[in-house]
Structure 1
Amino acid sequence: MLEWIINTINSLGYWGIALLMFLENVFPPIPSELIMPLAGFTARTTPDKLNIFGVFFAGLLGSVVGALIWYYPGKFLSEKRLKTLVDKYGNWLAISSEDITKAKRWFYKQGKKAVLIGRLVPGVRTLISVPAGLSNMNLLSFLFYTALGSAVWVGLLTYSGYVLGSQYELVDKYLAPVSKIMLGILVLACFGWVLKRQRKNTRS
């Protein structure tokens, strides 16, 4: 996968970065933690071909457009229908209906800011668009929070690759376990919130 990412960036430049980040949102196994640091490293080593600001905006564009791919199915399909489709074809995307349920719980707990926060959390950042669509979140609000969260994430990864230089792969190496810990904390928080609501309803 690394060789494919390198070839895409080298051959297509900014459009290649935007394409990769778009695909990263559609197919979660493609890691932004590798794409953007590599793009940042490329901007450092070949400034005549790519500059760090162009890399950042290309990554941001691909990330925001990719988020819309999950927003509209949530908006126009029922939750039951969407989960059925995901269970049937989700293996291709490495997601399941349970992932949608977790994202939905996170969204309803946090409200609109869930889109902003969710864009910073691997494992949640892609699917947070689904409950936003299911809840008919205003498109402009969705784009604003998505762009804001994506800008922080893309900017961090791009700058890390630019600073680390040839050691850009360390971003993915060290961020991966941190991401898993953050995802685990979010899942536990959502589970605790559900239990709290159930106890409250029982007392009522």
Structure 2
Amino acid sequence: MDVIGPAGAGIAIALENLFPPLPSEAILPMAGLAASRGSFTLFEALAWTTAGSVVGAFALYGLGAWLGLNRLRRIAARVPLLHPEDIDRTVAWFGRNGGKAVFFGRMIPIFRSLISIPAGITRMPLWRFGLLTFAGSLIWNTVFVLAGFFLGESWHIVEAYADILQYVVIAAVAVAVVWFVVARVRQLRGRDRDLDPDLA
């Protein structure tokens, strides 16, 4: 971190948005640690990492805008157990809750990156997406940068708690996926029985 400086930390956070396996929970505290040592200021650490978050989010927003609703519906039609109507319902939900989803999504592992894609698909106004992304990212980054700044060499303590949060999110996603698959398979079997009484 001393070598790459605050701009390098910002680039690392931008890449973390594009490649979620890069852990912001480690990058941000290390930036705070470097700031506590005087390698750069705390303001520089927060400004550059938040700028990196916004840049990375806009890159994924662009991917979502390029993908578009019609193309996504065509993809869903080809994926087993998915229907274009699933995309329509998700987009409708995002239309109602997109602001909260973008803001709070910036503070949830995994979703930090993914939430930018539906924002692009639905073409959320750029100014609104940018403002919500900036606000949510600033809160997330501030927590971890300050943790590194005040904990010093013990910064890795916060990473352990962040890992717990990530495991909870992964478990919740796994449960949701299993529930969806089971519900959809039951729906398809019920439809088959209605079409062919001999299957009942």
Equivalent position SS for 1:28: coil
2-side partners of 1:145 and 1:61: how far apart?
A: 13
Q: Contact conserved, 1:74 with 1:82, CA < 8 A, in 2?
A: no
Structure 2 residues without counterparts, runs of 5 or longer:
76-86, 184-200
In the alignment, structure 1 residue 77 sits paired with structure 2 residue 64: no
Equivalent position SS for 2:112: coil
* Structure 1 residue 172, shift from structure 2 partner: 1.2
In the alignment, structure 1 residue 131 sits paired with structure 2 residue 112: no
CA offsets per residue over residues 156-188 of structure 1, 9 Å max, x none? 000011111101111111211123224545776
Partner of 1:180: 167
In the alignment, structure 1 residue 110 sits paired with structure 2 residue 97: yes
| Mapping of residues 1-204 of structure 1, within 5 Å | 9-45=1-37, 47=38, 49-79=39-69, 81=71, 107=94, 110-182=97-169, 184-185=171-172
Q: TM-score if structure 2 supplies the norm length?
A: 0.73
* Structure 1 residue 81, shift from structure 2 partner: 4.7
**Residue 163 and residue 136 in structure 1: after superposition, are their counterparts in 2 closer, same or farther (change >3 A)?**
same
Residue correspondences, number:
167
1-side partners of 2:94 and 2:42: how far apart?
A: 32
Aligned Cα root-mean-square deviation (Å):
2.9
**Residue 10 and residue 136 in structure 1: after superposition, are their counterparts in 2 closer, same or farther (change >3 A)?**
same
Percent identity of equivalent pairs = 34
Structure 1 residues without counterparts, runs of 5 or longer:
1-8, 86-100, 196-204
**Counterpart code for 1:174:** Y
| Structure (1 or 2) with the larger CA radius of gyration | 2
CA offsets per residue over residues 44-67 of structure 1, 9 Å max, x none? 12x1x2111110111001010000
